Structure 1
Amino acid sequence: MQIQDNAVASIHYTLTNEAGDTIDSSEGAEPLAYLHGAANIIPGLENALLGKTVGDKLNVQVSPEDGYGEHVAELVQQVPQEMFQGVDQVEIGMEFHAESNTGQPIAVTVTEVKEGMVTIDANHPLAGVTLNFDVEIVEVREATAEEQEHGHAHGAGGHHH
């Protein structure tokens, strides 16, 4: 069976950046199971997997616009350290949840702490990064009606309820 919309594909993968540093990998773990066509994985990888079958191995380079988007400067801002009440020590790399201008929750990462000000970044950590995937397709099957209804794969490597 080929990977197509409403198929569950299970893949082993290693994700690296342009410098060759490993960002993520399924090595030593269950393969990642996803529902094709349901936006469970980034568009650039999903598009590259369309039509592939069990045993296929491929290298996929995904540009930022087909991955986690470009880095948006407006999503980086400085706020007074007093805004972090109840946090003893605000440090680079800490993640917090904030409320956007529209009232939606967003994740922000601390990128700098200096002179009573904290720089926070609401971009995805991989925004602006070209991603390189080494992928092996290990299983392709038809999605169950429940998986299609829920919009994700169930079971090993997928979502557990």
Structure 2
Amino acid sequence: MTESLVIGNDSEVILHFDLKLEDGSAADSTRVNNKPAKLVMGDGSLTPNFEACLVGLKKGDKKAFTLEANDAFGEPNPNNMHYMDRSRFGADLKIEEGMILAFAQPDGSEIPGIIRSVAGDSVTVDFNHPLAGQTVIFDVEILDVKPGTHAQSEN
């Protein structure tokens, strides 16, 4: 019987996770659509603090980690609040507080912005991560661990 691989620096990991807020409300989950996440440690799909939670776990492990805001998505940055003129939005678009809209970047990529307020012709858009400032619970179940591409055995 082979020893279960332990998650290390460049392991390929398949996992289910639930991201919850302190009050227990769900922020994100791979279980909703029963589609596990697949990542390679260090590929940037998770922040270093989230990755650090996974190191040392192995297939079959289930564990929950509580991350303070600074270790999760950071604190809200006031520089990420933007005030835009209503005319920048389509005339037929009904803008309401709490809406999340995609905004095109100069390089063609899009980033999400949350409408925080609408006052006359001024629209306040928040480009902070929606979970910025929140303590989150990262609840994981490791489904599989494979060695990374750099961990090749000698023949």
Unaligned stretches of 5+ residues in structure 2 = 151-155
Counterpart in the other structure of 1:97: 103
Q: Say which of 104, 114, 139 aligns to 1:134.
A: 139
Judging changes above 3 Å, is the alpha-carbon distance between structure 1 residues 134 and 104 closer, same or farther for their aligned structure 2 residues? closer
Counterpart in the other structure of 1:38: 43
Judging changes above 3 Å, is the alpha-carbon distance between structure 1 residues 85 and 12 closer, same or farther for their aligned structure 2 residues? closer
Counterpart in the other structure of 1:52: 57
Question: SS at 2:53's partner residue?
Answer: helix
Task: Please tell me whether residue 27 in structure 1 is matched to residue 17 in structure 2.
Answer: no
Unaligned stretches of 5+ residues in structure 1 = 146-161
**TM superposition shift of 1:87:** 4.5
Counterpart in the other structure of 1:5: 9
Q: TM-score, normalised by structure 1?
A: 0.77
Q: Distance in 1 between matches of 2:147 and 2:109?
A: 35
Q: Distance in 2 between matches of 1:37 and 1:43?
A: 8
Which amino acid in 1 is paired with 2:23? A
**TM superposition shift of 1:16:** 0.5
Q: Distance in 2 between matches of 1:70 and 1:23?
A: 17
Identity of aligned residues (%): 29
**TM superposition shift of 1:98:** 4.7
Of structures 1 and 2, the larger Rg is shown by 2
Contact map agreement 2:100 2:112 (CA 8 A) in 1: no
Q: TM-score, normalised by structure 2?
A: 0.80
Between the two proteins, the alignment pairs up a number of residues equal to 144
RMSD, matched Cα = 2.4
Question: SS at 1:45's partner residue?
Answer: helix
**TM superposition shift of 1:144:** 4.6
